[in-house]
Amino acid sequence: MNVVYAIKKKGADKIAFLGLLLVALLLARLIIASKSTIALSKPLVLNYSGLSVSIPAGNGWKSEKRWIYHKNAFTLTAFFDSGSGSMAAVARCRYLLAPTTAAVDTLFNEKAATIGGSIANQGQIPVDISDYRFTNSSQSTGTLIVDWVHIQKPKGLFDTFYGVTHLPNGRQLDIEVYQAGADTDLAKSVFNRVAESVKIRNSQILDAGCEIVAAIKRKGLDSFFGSHFDKETKNGANFFLIKDARQRSIGFTMDVLIAAPVLQQNRETELYDFDLSAQTIQAASFYYIRRPYNREQATLFQGVNNLDEFTWRSETSRIDAKSGAEIVLDKPAVMTVRKLGETVEDNSYHISSAAIPDIFSELTFRQILDSDYKEILVDIIEADGAILPLLISRIEKDTSAIEQFFSKAADREKVTYVLKLELLDGRGFSEQVFFDNKKLILKRLLRREVIYIIERTDEDTILREFPERADYILRKSKTL
């Protein structure tokens, strides 16, 4: 009897174990199926761009659900955590303000080489933008095309889906999905869903920025000579003191904009009539901040009057390092940046029609004040080649701010216009610029990590405040 009972019990245990195994497998399948279900976030809008994209959310996907600026682009990222502590998948969108000049096929081959894989498949996904009103773009259809490739890494159980689409106003959107493991279908499904979620609508303030920059180019830089450099300025140069929040002088800036001799003669005698694009303009700037920061930068610009071609060189010195850059625009909307330091780095970009060198930001301010626009977005090209989106808004005069930063009643009376500037790179930097009735800058209030005040002054004041740079100022002023 005991033997028979033992045999029956052993059989029952096997059946029970088999049942538990089936239940476990079923639960595992349900868990995998639930995590494999692709749920997308609500459309995540990139402010002022007209672009929105949805990315995976929930079921193991994690994201900050916000666009983050880094190196001339905004990035939106979602990670899939397998539970083992490593990322099993990544979905990423990059909105490039200035795409590289490489062709799409070149980008695909470079991506494959970087991963160490090969292109297994490729195709296209149409994105409907029929409600987009084309203004400042050569594109005139209601459909965007996402060109994509599937890259496989041999024996690596690693798949990448990478897509590129060119947006209006010179922008570019890259979509990437990385998948670790053998579930290629999941990676492809995520990529398709994200690509199909792309929406692009008109950005009126970006269109306005394109028009403001286009107006400056149409008029020519020399058209601003009479207003930008008033008779009050000495030798055609502008000087500004840099002060801290306690109104202590800590540095200065100087800049100048001049025409080539032939163009100057043309203005004086009106006997010459050269093509606008052939006229040569030179500009230079210098700023210095004394200890404890010890930072200075000198730049030299030379280009044609309508900004279609130029060369802009800069040298920057800090306590711990020196660096330099050369920016060359020698083809329509193609800018090459060479950064000079311990290593030399060259990159070429397609810049948008809203892009303008920072050395001419004051001309941009004047142009918006001369226009009917209340708000614009431009791409500021900095001296090191970085491109930053800048929101410029006309605002009403704030009496309390004016009283705080203009101690004399006579100076307060001069304030006629005020602009607010906001850098949209996530750092929260902003600025207020105060102008007189001639649209010349009186003061600038910069909110960075700390507050800086920049106020118009003259060469004599700079020489008195910064005697350690007297020889340099006089030499550079004469040279400029």
Q: Among 50, 45, 40, which residue's Cα sits nearest to residue 144?
A: 50
Compute the radius of gyration of the chain from its Cα atoms.
29
Judge whether residue 31 has pLDDT over 60: no
For residue 276 the two structure tokens come to 């606008």
**What three-state secondary structure class fits 294?**
coil
120: amino acid identity, one letter: A
**Per-residue pLDDT at 5 exceeds 50:** no
| 4 pLDDT higher than 60 | no
pLDDT at residue 446, as a whole number: 94
The span from the CA of 235 to the CA of 373, in Å, is: 33
CA end-to-end distance (rounded Å), the chain: 113
Q: What is the pLDDT of residue 133?
A: 65
- Is residue 123 exposed (0-12), middle (13-18) or buried (19+ Cβ within 10 Å)? exposed
- pLDDT score, position 480: 55
pLDDT classification of 129: cutoffs 50, 70, 90:
confident
Q: What is the pLDDT of residues 237-265, one digit of tens each?
A: 789 999 998 889 999 999 888 765 544 44
Candidate ranges 32-36, 214-218, 233-237; pick with highest mean pLDDT = 214-218
Q: Flag the least confident range among 138-152, 204-218, 420-434.
A: 138-152
120-124: average pLDDT: 94
Neighbours of 118 (CB within 10 A): 14
C-alpha to C-alpha distance for 408 and 43, rounded to whole angstroms: 50
Instruction: Using DSSP bridges, classify how beta strands 237-244 and 334-340 pair: parallel, antiparallel or unpaired.
Output: unpaired
106-110, long-range: CB within 8 Å, 24+ apart, which pairs? 107/164, 108/147, 108/149, 108/162, 108/164
Span 435-471, pLDDT tens digits: 999 999 999 999 988 899 999 999 999 999 999 888 7
Q: State the pLDDT at residue 88.
A: 81
pLDDT band at 473 (very low <50, low <70, confident <90, very high): confident
pTM: 0.84
Region of 311 (left: φ > 0; alpha: ψ -120 to 50; beta: rest) is: beta
Cα–Cα dist 412/305, whole Å: 35
Q: Which amino acid is at 435?
A: F
If you ran DSSP here, which 8-state letter would residue 220 be given? -
Question: Which H helix or E strand runs over 75?
Answer: strand 73-81
